Structure 1
Amino acid sequence: MVSGCATTADSGDKATELAITLKPHADPDHGETIDTVAVTLHFSGLETGDIMKPVLLMPLVVSNVDSVATTLTDMKASDERGPLTLRVSDIDAPLEAAGDAESGGPSRAWLADRPIVGPVTVSFVVPAEATLPPRGPAPPFSFSADGGGVSASGHVFLPLPPGDATYRASFDWDLTALPAGARGVTTFGEGHVIAPEPLTSSELRMTFYMAGQIGAYPTVVPATGFFGAWQGEPAFDAAKLLAWTSNLYGHYSKFFGQETPPPYGVFLRYNPINAGGGVGLYHSFVTTFGAGDGADVEKIRITLAHEMFHTFQPYIESPPGLESSWFGEGLAVLYARRLALRFDSITPDAFLDDLNSGAGRYYTSLMATEPNSEVPKRFWADTRIRTLPYDRGMLYFATVDDAVRKASNGTRSLDDLMLAMLALEKSGKVTTNADWEALLTDALGPDAVTAFRGFLNGDMPIPASDAFGPCFERTTKPMRRYELGFDTAVLAEPKRIVRGLVAGSAAEQAGLQNGDEIVVPVPQDGIQGNQTEMLKLKIRRNGETSDITYLPRGETVEAYQWQRKAGTDDLDCAL
């Protein structure tokens, strides 16, 4: 094992140059299908007198998605002295915060055979379709090559110099190996673009790339501000949906005080497994479409509102990653629907439907009172744990907002606390739970800090009846708990072999057996909030494949829901 990192140039105004060029290639025997993408990196500022320190580093797995670290080919490198030979070693890199996610951990390192002199050029080829089997629930980072296009997040294909250097980054496309009419866009716009500010390696990986026979809104992508792109042919008007998103983005920009919004890209692509989900990235976000709920524009709008909020909002940076995801995801869930309603981008009924889906998922969950410390340990292994930062975080922030509004007689709200956290973050401070506790103390007193710590320990937040606005009131409803019927960790494994089948469960009654192999990944996060949606498993048993379908529900409990208050007007609903 190799430890340590190469020393790169200092951050700030000493940022060095880094150019990324992508060349997608379409297989002439398969029409417009893109089979590979050639990548060229050109960067300066690397000093490696110690050849035992990595020149490039790439995580092996990012948020349950395999990178191309083990499948890229034809890697070549050179500097001012000529060719460099790079040898491979796998290391355990330090974890770093990347919004709600984290980077680092098990990684592949490339080390040079001699000290480097001057700028470095590295080229390699990656497959345009993921060649490793999907691990299960995961954000849309991996390569997708369908509909005459290709797309991926930088997380999965950009080996970059380790360390905390910043780069003046440029992005370019070579589309000469694609059919006529091909376009190439990145997080920062179309064609050759330069990032508006220096970027760290972590921020560079949080960029998105799409090329080929793709659509765009506006048709001519602007040099700054909002744009959107889509790959494939969704069952809805993509341009109309992106026009709606552009309008909401404008409201977000004003809410967060951006006079001149930077480039901001929204990407849509097909997902046959868990359509409708998405992920916020650096100055961009990605959402997916498909059949069923994956083509439901109202649901996709909420996803777009959520992911777009991530780009503006504050985060808690220490502890990094999933342990603090309650903050980022809880705020995003609450504000995605709240701001959309405030700016007349969704109806009160759409607001209520989304609220009750999350509330029903939480208040029926056996994991509702698990401490927050369990989230990073079991995030990918149990969908009921994975949704806690979203649902419990949202409900907690609703209680804080309600308390602040009532304590201040309506002169303050959660908006003030959130924007104060954002100001701390923009000042360069590494934000922590202590910063949040200080704001709570100022607004509500020490009892709010005690309640917050109880929340982290698993206390169930129960917002007041009117916490979501004057049009809604709390009620209860008999609802059934989500019950998969076998060991939840199975669905997060590359080879999904059923074990721990629960006797008497709906899964057993449907004919599932221990030892069955589930051959297609199964999304669960959304189905938890839908009391009547059936779970469909494609299994292999004794060499034969068949389908098993059942309602993944167990005991009935009384769960909190919200309903429309009689006699209220739509115009009075927003907070």
Structure 2
Amino acid sequence: MLTMALAAAVSGQPAVAITLAPKPAARGQDRIATIDVTLRFDGVAAAAGEAVLGLPLVTSNVDTVATVITVQASDARGPLSLTTRDVVLPTGAARDADTGGPSRQWVASRAVAGRLTVRYTIPATASLPPRGPAPPFAFSDDGGGTSGAGHVFLLLPPGDAAYRATVDWNLSALPKGTRGASSYGVGRVMAPEPLTAGQLRMAYYMAGRGVGQWPVPARGFFAAWQGKPPFDAAGLMRWTGTLYDRYASFFGQKTPPPYGVFLRYNPINAGGGVGLYHSFVTTFGRSGGQGSDPGEIKFTLAHEMFHTFQPFIEEPAGLASSWFGEGLATFYQRRLPLRYGLIGPDDFVKDLNFHAGRYYTSAMATVPNAEVPTRFWADTRIRTLPYDRGMLYFADLDDRLRKASAGKRSLDDLMLAMLARQHGGRTTTNADWEAELRGALGEPAVADFRAFLGGTMPLPASDAFGPCFRRVAKPLRRYELGFDTAVLAEPKRIVRGLQAGSAAAAAGLRDGDEIVVPVPQDGIQGNQTQRLTLAVRREGRALSIDYLPRGETGQAWQWERVLGVSDKACAL
């Protein structure tokens, strides 16, 4: 009987079979130290001197395994010698992320003949991200399991070919009861459609005896978590599964593909998440700390799951168009759950005010969108603009559409029209969005959009979020780190540019201090009372410096409940 991968190859479709074999440091232990990776390719061709495989050196601010692995390869003619070279590849789009850039390639000593088999071993141990803020892509081996994204370890041929892919787990070295899951499902599974190398890397992998699962057995929607979250993980996943079904109905998918949710512990920036192929990953923290409130995590789940269904602007690629993908997801992360009765109005306005407060107090609120790609990882105030400013732009647009059409049209219509363009095989661009705006509201809407990209501050009307809420001005303090923000995105964080009179200076921080633990800022930037604690090394001494990273007070826009309006009238 042919394997799924071989069957695909016989049909003329290139294929890859991925087998992952986690290994403990000592036999019988739960803690996973390494993973043996075996890749079997059918339909891969490469001449002598051509690149057979490749992997970015850094992806979304995360170092990959490219520099720490030894690769063995063979084909129908026997062992295949590979040499490495480092290249800079053109930037491409992977939804809101970028692909390409500095990469390592493995070059064939001769032409590849027949099936290509590749073997290498990757470290599965936890490490703090040396470059600071980053999605949870790197492997982490806590909680009786390990997990990581294909972005950081999956060697694949260059080019745009699509592959039929199977994933299998060899768990024989681990204790009984160990599970293995990927974005495609639990255990041995086949991806539901041919995938390019970029798409194949957008999958998540998790294995271990400490991995929980809901439901058992896995159905179309499934979840896996590593360790023990400080909340009812199964209950939260039931809520998420219900929302997924509602999303599928909203987007007209009668039989949506399998979808996986992965949760794991994050000691640095708990509560955040990242969307991947038919799946997403979110992180939790310790009990009572950041990332321990399931109510807040629901918005992360709603946001990341929306990414799987929504349209994206594909040109310009990556972060230059993140205002669209992230702005839409931030807008709908509360709009749809409220519409479906899965959150209440108080939850809605709390989440809205977090994002509005973070934006309207930001010193970077009017930075042009063109500066986002180059400064995204260096400054939290830039990194949050696509989410917050994008959301407010879409909220204002939704309100204008509803009022101009007497309630017959909304942002839903324009968003779904963009999705139809994308599904029609078009490379969606800003020009497509302008065409939708022009057809709905005329040239003024196009001019407003271009001004938004230029940095103009969006300000939705007082009743833009429905009859339950009204806009009010409140005094809020501006986020102020107190030194050069780029320091926190560098592998070695040496303080420079300390601002005289800042809270950081008053707390005793000095230029030349080394910050030895990565510092999350995206969440704290929107929290007026949360203090920042820096673990510092100065002249060989360890210091802890704690302060409230706030500066001047200004008037910022927030929304509040309108008294006398029932909860039932709140959803739009």
Report the TM-score, using the length of structure 1 for normalisation: 0.96
Alignment counterpart, residue 59 of structure 1, candidates 56, 61, 70: 56
Alignment counterpart, residue 100 of structure 2, candidates 88, 104, 111: 104
The one-letter amino acid paired with 2:416 is L
Deviations 1:161-206 (A, max 9, x none): 0100000110000000111100100001111101111111111000
Do the aligned residues in 2 keep the contact of 1:364 with 1:480 (CA within 8 Å)?
Answer: yes
Structure 2 residue 217 is the aligned partner of structure 1 residue 227: no
Name the counterpart of 2:259.
264
Deviations 1:69-123 (A, max 9, x none): 01123x2100110000110110011211001001110000000111111110001
Do the aligned residues in 2 keep the contact of 1:293 with 1:299 (CA within 8 Å)?
Answer: no
Structure 2 residue 279 is the aligned partner of structure 1 residue 284: yes
Post-superposition shift, 1:14? 4.8
Post-superposition shift, 1:28? 2.1
Post-superposition shift, 1:15? 2.8
Q: Secondary structure at the match of 1:473?
A: strand
Post-superposition shift, 1:347? 1.2
Do the aligned residues in 1 keep the contact of 2:437 with 2:446 (CA within 8 Å)?
Answer: yes
User: Per the alignment, do residues 354 and 133 of structure 1 end up closer, same or farther by CA in structure 2, a change over 3 Å counting?
Assistant: closer
Q: Secondary structure at the match of 1:419?
A: helix
Aligned-partner Cα distance in 2 for 1:503–1:399: 39
Structure 2 residue 269 is the aligned partner of structure 1 residue 274: yes
Alignment counterpart, residue 216 of structure 1, candidates 213, 217, 223: 213
Name the counterpart of 2:170.
174
Structure 2 residue 375 is the aligned partner of structure 1 residue 382: no
Aligned-partner Cα distance in 2 for 1:76–1:52: 17
In structure 1, runs of 5+ residues without a counterpart are 1-9
Aligned-partner Cα distance in 1 for 2:128–2:145: 20
Name the counterpart of 1:327.
324
The one-letter amino acid paired with 2:559 is W
The one-letter amino acid paired with 1:427 is G
Question: Equivalent residues in 2 for 1:258-407 (5 A)?
Answer: 258-291=253-286, 292-407=289-404
User: Per the alignment, do residues 305 and 131 of structure 1 end up closer, same or farther by CA in structure 2, a change over 3 Å counting?
Assistant: closer
User: Per the alignment, do residues 133 and 273 of structure 1 end up closer, same or farther by CA in structure 2, a change over 3 Å counting?
Assistant: closer
Name the counterpart of 2:456.
459
The one-letter amino acid paired with 1:447 is P
Name the counterpart of 2:3.
none
Name the counterpart of 1:124.
120
Do the aligned residues in 1 keep the contact of 2:327 with 2:389 (CA within 8 Å)?
Answer: yes
Name the counterpart of 1:249.
244
Aligned-partner Cα distance in 2 for 1:15–1:570: 53
Do the aligned residues in 2 keep the contact of 1:69 with 1:108 (CA within 8 Å)?
Answer: yes
Aligned-partner Cα distance in 2 for 1:129–1:564: 47
Aligned-partner Cα distance in 2 for 1:360–1:53: 52
The one-letter amino acid paired with 1:261 is P
Aligned-partner Cα distance in 2 for 1:45–1:332: 38
Post-superposition shift, 1:132? 7.9
Q: Which range moves more in the overlay, 412-421 or 124-133?
A: 124-133
Aligned-partner Cα distance in 2 for 1:94–1:79: 29
The one-letter amino acid paired with 1:142 is A
Aligned-partner Cα distance in 1 for 2:347–2:416: 26
In structure 2, runs of 5+ residues without a counterpart are 1-7
Post-superposition shift, 1:48? 1.6
Post-superposition shift, 1:452? 0.2
Do the aligned residues in 1 keep the contact of 2:243 with 2:337 (CA within 8 Å)?
Answer: yes
Aligned-partner Cα distance in 1 for 2:533–2:69: 34
Q: Secondary structure at the match of 1:310?
A: helix
Q: Secondary structure at the match of 1:295?
A: coil
User: Per the alignment, do residues 351 and 133 of structure 1 end up closer, same or farther by CA in structure 2, a change over 3 Å counting?
Assistant: closer
Q: Secondary structure at the match of 1:196?
A: coil
Post-superposition shift, 1:458? 0.2
Q: Secondary structure at the match of 1:72?
A: coil
Name the counterpart of 2:436.
439
| Regions of 4+ moved over 6 Å | none
Q: Percent identity?
A: 65
Aligned-partner Cα distance in 2 for 1:172–1:159: 16
Do the aligned residues in 2 keep the contact of 1:44 with 1:118 (CA within 8 Å)?
Answer: yes
Do the aligned residues in 2 keep the contact of 1:15 with 1:165 (CA within 8 Å)?
Answer: no
Deviations 1:357-381 (A, max 9, x none): 1000000111000000110010000
Name the counterpart of 1:17.
15
Deviations 1:232-286 (A, max 9, x none): 1111011111011001101001000111110100000000000000000010000
Aligned-partner Cα distance in 1 for 2:456–2:170: 54
Aligned-partner Cα distance in 1 for 2:488–2:310: 31
Do the aligned residues in 1 keep the contact of 2:62 with 2:129 (CA within 8 Å)?
Answer: no
The one-letter amino acid paired with 2:488 is L
Aligned-partner Cα distance in 2 for 1:355–1:565: 15
Aligned-residue Cα RMSD (Å) equals: 1.3
Q: Secondary structure at the match of 2:290?
A: helix
Do the aligned residues in 2 keep the contact of 1:71 with 1:131 (CA within 8 Å)?
Answer: no
The one-letter amino acid paired with 1:519 is V
The one-letter amino acid paired with 1:219 is V
Aligned-partner Cα distance in 2 for 1:129–1:106: 24
Q: Secondary structure at the match of 1:91?
A: strand
Name the counterpart of 1:94.
90
Residue-pair matches, total: 561
Name the counterpart of 2:502.
505
